[in-house]
Amino acid sequence: MLTIKNYSLNRFLKNLANLQLAIILLFVIGIAVAIGTFIEQDQTLSFYKENYPLESPFFGFIDWQFIILFNLNKLYSAFWFLSLLAFFALTLLACTFTTQLPALKKFRLWNFLTSPSQFKRFALTDQLKRNFYNTFIYNLHNDNYHIFCQGKKKYAYSGLFGRVGPIIVHFSILLLLVGTSAGSLSGYNIQELVPKGEVFHLQNLVKSGALTKVIQNFSWRINDFWVTYSDGSKIDQFYSDISLLNSQGEEIKRKTIFVNEPFVYKGITIYQTDWDIVGLRLYDNKTKITKQLPLKKIVKEGRNFWVGSTTVEDPKFNKITFLVNNLDKEIFLYDDKGNFIQKTLLGNNVNLDADYLIIKELISSTGLQIKEDPGIDIVYLSFLIIMCSIYISFLSYSQIWSIEEKGGFFVAGKANRAILNFQEDFKKRVKKLNFN
């Protein structure tokens, strides 16, 4: 009964290790990835209804219902996609243990030829004089061949490490699958828009996996935010001074980030992605009160403007509208009819007949993208191993046989890579001995 079970298991593993099956799986995975590239990921339901309507589906069948039904909006964390990756991983494991490892063991075994007639099956073969036999073996030894003897029979091989390459390739692909799966299941993507001076926690999840757990035992504080300009009003760079705080509010780490220079702490990465102006802080000299005026962002002809209005006690107008186009330039004032009043700068008085206002501060906010991908280090490691394994796979595995017979000896050889180079080297080796 045990034998039957072992036979069934071996048969199952060999079927699972089938090359055609692996190619089919890889082809299906490739199509799925292409679909994931084509269809925007992790968007709202209204986005898909608007862009993939039922009335005009892409390719005649891809509409928003089709996308939601097959989780194409969250493809890389979808159960069926992860199942494909797992199945492909099983085929690699089966191939490794049923084919690659046994083949490697076989290549390490002594493989002697027992008669001159066996040499006829090789394309590279020759017969040399016996007195050159020791010289021939010595040259193989100098060329780092592993030599085995059994009476008058000799066997030598070189480049066995090249046979390890496919195994390492399989291992690296498995690592890649593990890393990407870990990122899909446990990683997350958060977007925050935080005013200067505020403390925030991670909460606005944009993308998350089934096993995602956002740590909440620490927080961040935006100490400062500023923008630098070049060529007048053109933005050169924007910066955020960020502090990481523990549960007691104590600073653990502090860094100023900007585009392409993130804040990294224990796998969590904070990127500078955007900025905004959320309001003005005004001081009313008459009431002696500092109030905050919200500003609304308006995009016109590709330019950003921020607008907000407040009522005032003045015989000329009841309301003043403030217009801002950046953080470092003038602030423009308009009356309730849209007529221009004046332009001013931060800290300057806005003179009214009754009294005056002081624009004390522009309240800005920084746009942050926070990511955690537990599998990213594994992915990077897998790519490194893949590059090394590809190089190893190109190493030639060479074999040479010899046998003494009738006052001389027969030699034959073959290689699995760089065959032309091996043939040339083999012929030179034989020619040199015959010439001598």
What six digits make up the tokens of 110? 């002594």
Question: Is the pLDDT assigned to residue 124 strictly greater than 90?
Answer: no
% pLDDT > 90, the chain: 9
* Residue 19: band (very low, low, confident or very high) from pLDDT cuts 50, 70, 90: confident
Average pLDDT over every residue of 288-312? 85
What local confidence, expressed as pLDDT, does residue 9 receive? 66
The two structure tokens encoding residue 44: 């709202």
pLDDT confidence of residue 3: 53
> Residues 289, 233: one domain?
no
Q: Domain check: are 246 and 202 in the same one?
A: yes
Give yes or no: residues 283 and 357 share one domain: yes
Give domain status of residue 177, yes or no.
no
Are 20 and 43 members of one domain? yes
Q: Decide if 135 is inside a domain.
A: yes
Q: Both 13 and 82 in a single domain?
A: yes
Cβ–Cβ < 8 Å for 22, 12? no
Whole-number pLDDT of residue 1: 42
Are 283 and 266 contained in the same domain? Answer: no
Q: How confident is the model over 193-202, as pLDDT tens digits?
A: 898 889 998 8
Residue 427 lies in a domain: yes
Do 234 and 150 share a domain, yes or no?
no
If residue 398 lies in a helix (H) or strand (E), which one and from where to where? Answer: strand 398-405
Last residue of a domain, one of 340, 362, 384: 362
* pLDDT in the model for residue 393: 76
- Which residue, of 342, 362, 382, is where some domain finishes? 362
Residue 110 has pLDDT above 80, yes or no: no
Q: Measured between alpha carbons, how far is residue 193 from residues 199, 273, 379 in Å? A: 11, 10, 30
In a domain? residue 431? yes
**What single letter denotes the amino acid at residue 289?**
I
pLDDT of residue 287: 78
pLDDT at residue number 436: 52
**Residue 12 vs residues 94, 96, 98, 103, 343: alpha-carbon distances, Å:** 9, 14, 10, 19, 80
DSSP string, 75-130: GGG-HHHHHHHHHHHHHHHHHIIIIIHHHHHHHHS-----SGGGGGG-SEEEEEEG
Q: Give the model confidence (pLDDT) of 274-284 as tens digits.
A: 888 888 888 88
6, 79: one domain? yes
Q: Is residue 379 part of a domain?
A: no
Classify residue 377: in a domain, yes or no.
Answer: no
Find tokens 């072992």 and name the residue.
Answer: 6
Counting residues of the chain whose pLDDT is more than 70, the rounded percentage is 92
Task: Let me know if residue 167 belongs to a domain.
Answer: no
Burial 16-31 (b: 16+ CB within 10 A, else e): bbeeebbeebeeebee
Lowest-pLDDT choice from 153-157, 218-222, 406-410, 413-417: 406-410
Q: Is residue 270 domain-shared with residue 192, that is, in the same domain? A: yes
Same domain as 84, residue 34: yes
What pLDDT score was predicted for residue 2? 44
Residue 388 domain flag: no
Label residue 255 by pLDDT band (50, 70, 90): very high
Identify the domain containing residue 318 by its residue range.
277-362
Per-residue pLDDT of 70-104, as tens digits, reads 888 888 878 888 888 888 888 888 888 887 777 66
- Does residue 21 sit in the same domain as residue 84? yes
User: Of 362, 383, 414, which one is at a domain's C-terminal end?
Assistant: 362
35-39, 160-164, 291-295, 369-373: lowest mean pLDDT where? Answer: 160-164
Closest CA to 247 of 272, 275, 215, 288: 215
Residue 145, pLDDT above cutoff 90: no
Tokens (6 digits) for 410: 């027969």
Q: How many CB atoms lie within 10 A of CB 202?
A: 18
At residue 4, does pLDDT exceed 70?
no
Listed residue (281, 280, 284) closest to 314, CA to CA: 284
Question: 101: which 2 tokens?
Answer: 């490892």
**pLDDT tens sequence across 32-73:** 888 888 888 877 788 888 888 888 888 778 888 888 888 888
Same domain, 35 and 94: yes
Number of domains in the chain: 4
What pLDDT does residue 391 have? 80
